[in-house]
Structure 1
Amino acid sequence: MEQIFLSKYAKRIFFFVVSILFILLLLIRLLVVPALGRFLNETYTIIINTILDALLSTGVSTVVIASLAFWLTPKVIKKSHMDIIEPREIKDYLEKARETNEYWFCGGTGRFTRSKTIPKLAVDARNSNFSKKIYLILINPTNNTVCENYVEYRNKIRSGKKHNWDIKKLKKEIYATIVSAYTWNVEQPLLEVKIGLVNHYSLFRVDLSTQLAIITKEDPSEPALMCQKGTFFLKSYLENLRLSMSQGELLDNKVKGIPFSDLNGERIKIFLEELGFHENELSDSDFNEIVEFVKKGDNPYGY
């Protein structure tokens, strides 16, 4: 009932349908039953009237009480609202979230963000001639302890059975997201990118725009939480993301990214060193693989 009252459209439809039903029940009670009374036993007539009276009184009472409860509920409670969305619906909500001028992501490696969100915002910035901002909060690839714990976690969960994770794979994924963000910034200057690295990881990923916030887990077969614009929870998640960004290690925005046409392993290695990453664990073939991650833009979740 609360879900219906939260939507103006659904509320109008609800009251229209309920009004029609009440009118039909009244017509049956006042016109149809007396007309049929000539052919029915008096006992049956009394039973039918009793049932109709009970339906009418119960229905009216339920609607009135629910309406009063909703209208008397404080606005802050009405706005403290989250929805559970099915796995098959996540794609549509993420697409809706990308229709924005400001986007926040907080998660592990940002693979989906790299393949879908960043390119979409970059193209929209070019087509609209207005700037788009994207904020990324990723695991700090230089914190080996956090990386090892995250890898252990990924290999334990259901989605980790298909792809075995190790430290190198994790770092390459994170670096690919960083390189991709800076590269798109070069290709589309109206796309403003800010990246923060944090020394912890979470079970949840947060995709937040001016329209809505979607909270998912690593496994795409699991449901997600969603809160929309104007709700208490969206504002709270946004404040929490800003707090996380302020506590993280911010990457230098003055370092120029590499155009797609110039991407190669050696350029990426130099670029990452300019950002302060000195990776001795990654080989030349690893840096070349990062190039492939950036160029392919594969969607790891299938939507």
Structure 2
Amino acid sequence: MARFMAAMKRVAPWAARNADGAIALGLAIVVGVLGIMPHEIFGPKGEDVQRQLVTAATLVILALVATALLRDRARQAPVEKTITSGVLAELPVRLARLEQIETLAHSTRRALDTLQLVRVLGSRQEIAQSHAEARKDTARWSFKGGTGTYMRAVTLPECVAAARRDKRHLTIRIEVIDPSDAEVCETYAHYRRSLSDVPDGTGETWTTDRVRKESYATILAAFWHRQRYGLLDIAVGLSRTMTTFRWDLSTTRLIMTVEDPNMAMTALAGTFYYENCDTELRLSFEQARRVPLEMYKKAPLSDEPTIEEVQELFERIGMPLPKSYNGHDVVDIARKALRAVDPYGGP
């Protein structure tokens, strides 16, 4: 009895909260019992009485079930209304706000990249990638450095090839050491040897004679490419002072390299550093001795320039090669001009 009372106490709260369901359940049990009872119990017309009782109880059960469904629907209506009019109604606004946040984040990232003064490149791979990005679709290139070995080996031929492929104009300005100035050539060679007395990426050591030949080769390469691409506007300036930096400036970025092949700096176009370096390179080029590249038609060069063609070219532009140079030296200049080895070991 005690267990029964305890069970009733546990069931009572549930039955109170779900009275219609509890009554329907009770009536369903009663109907079930009535349905299996012998109809003789209900008297002479027991079968009819039993059928009436079951039918009536069934209708009551259906009514209670319908009442329970209506009550549950009435309870859910406010919740559905809240969800529909609240969270779901605000969903388009929230999505629009999320899109605004993403746009703001993208703009902020772009602004930070633009405002960044200088980014340091710490490996050959990063430097090579930065040069490749700078060459991509650029309409102009400015270089200032020692003798322009990398310029002849990679930058100049690839920029010209890309411009020819797209049939577009290309402007290139190159400033290198004046090969006729023995003092600056010796100063540069001494500086390079002081950093390392072993052969560099080209397999050669730095001497005064090599500096002169490398600069002559840059001049020769400029004439050779100018004669072969009509939309190339190229100019070469010769400096009587050396620099320990090499500047490469394209339409999109500036790259400043040093003798360490694993260290460089870069800045994007539009930044303070890029714009000021652009101005510096322009003013420096204006002060350099100009090579008369407008005379490129006066001394045509073959696809593989001969010794006589190279000598005549430098005679015509007023920069005759040293009298001490023999045929081997001239061939060496032509090789450096058109078959330059990438000093950073690239293919």
- Fold-level similarity (TM above 0.5): yes
Match of 2:44 in 1: none
Structure 1 runs (4+) deviating above 3 angstroms are 11-16, 257-260
Distance 1:181 1:170 in 2: 17
Structure 2 residue 211 is the aligned partner of structure 1 residue 211: no
Match of 2:327 in 1: 284
SS at match of 1:136: strand
Contact 2:301 2:309 in 1 (8 A): no
Match of 2:13 in 1: none
Distance 1:131 1:14 in 2: 37
Shifted more, 165-174 versus 240-249: the winner is 165-174
1:255-293 deviations in Å (ceiling 9; x for gaps): 116434250122111111222212223222100111222
**Unaligned runs of at least 5 residues, structure 2:** 1-100
Structure 2 residue 267 is the aligned partner of structure 1 residue 227: yes
Paired amino acid for 1:143: D
Distance 1:91 1:262 in 2: 28
Contact 2:140 2:170 in 1 (8 A): yes
Match of 1:94 in 2: 131
Tell me by how many angstroms 1:299 deviates: 1.1
Report which of the two structures shows the higher radius of gyration computed on alpha carbons. 2
> What RMSD in Å do the two structures reach over aligned CA positions?
2.6
SS at match of 2:266: strand
Paired amino acid for 1:148: E
Distance 1:125 1:14 in 2: 36
SS at match of 2:120: strand
- State the percentage of identical aligned residues: 27
Contact 1:123 1:188 in 2 (8 A): no
Distance 2:238 2:318 in 1: 12
Paired amino acid for 1:89: E
Distance 2:181 2:104 in 1: 55
Give me the TM-score of the superposition, normalised by structure 1: 0.72
Report 1:11-90 matches (<5 A): 79=115, 81-87=117-123, 88-90=125-127
Match of 2:223 in 1: 182
Contact 2:152 2:340 in 1 (8 A): yes
Distance 2:115 2:282 in 1: 21
Give me the TM-score of the superposition, normalised by structure 2: 0.63
Paired amino acid for 1:234: Y
Contact 1:197 1:248 in 2 (8 A): yes
Tell me by how many angstroms 1:211 deviates: 0.6
Distance 2:105 2:336 in 1: 53
1:30-57 deviations in Å (ceiling 9; x for gaps): xxxxxxxxxxxxxxxxxxxxxxxxxxxx
Distance 2:167 2:104 in 1: 42
Number of positions where the alignment pairs a residue of Structure 1 with one of Structure 2: 235
Distance 2:237 2:338 in 1: 23
Tell me by how many angstroms 1:164 deviates: 2.1
Contact 1:168 1:282 in 2 (8 A): no
Match of 2:314 in 1: 272
Tell me by how many angstroms 1:161 deviates: 1.5
Distance 2:102 2:287 in 1: 46
SS at match of 2:294: coil
Relative distance call for 1:233 and 1:15 in structure 2 (3 A) is closer
Match of 1:115 in 2: 153
Tell me by how many angstroms 1:12 deviates: 5.1
Match of 1:56 in 2: none
1:146-201 deviations in Å (ceiling 9; x for gaps): 1111110111113x422322221111111111111110111111111111111111
Shifted more, 201-210 versus 264-273: the winner is 264-273
Distance 1:295 1:144 in 2: 24
Partner of residue 293 from structure 2, selected from 247, 253, 268: 253
Distance 1:189 1:97 in 2: 23
SS at match of 2:329: helix
Paired amino acid for 1:141: P
Tell me by how many angstroms 1:137 deviates: 0.5
Distance 1:109 1:258 in 2: 23
Distance 2:171 2:302 in 1: 20
Distance 1:198 1:125 in 2: 28
Report 1:119-134 matches (<5 A): 119-134=157-172
SS at match of 1:89: helix
Match of 1:239 in 2: 279
Structure 2 residue 185 is the aligned partner of structure 1 residue 161: no
**Unaligned runs of at least 5 residues, structure 1:** 1-10, 17-69
Distance 2:260 2:278 in 1: 23
Tell me by how many angstroms 1:128 deviates: 1.4
Tell me by how many angstroms 1:204 deviates: 0.6
Distance 1:210 1:188 in 2: 20
Paired amino acid for 1:248: A
SS at match of 2:238: strand
1:232-251 deviations in Å (ceiling 9; x for gaps): 10000000000100100011
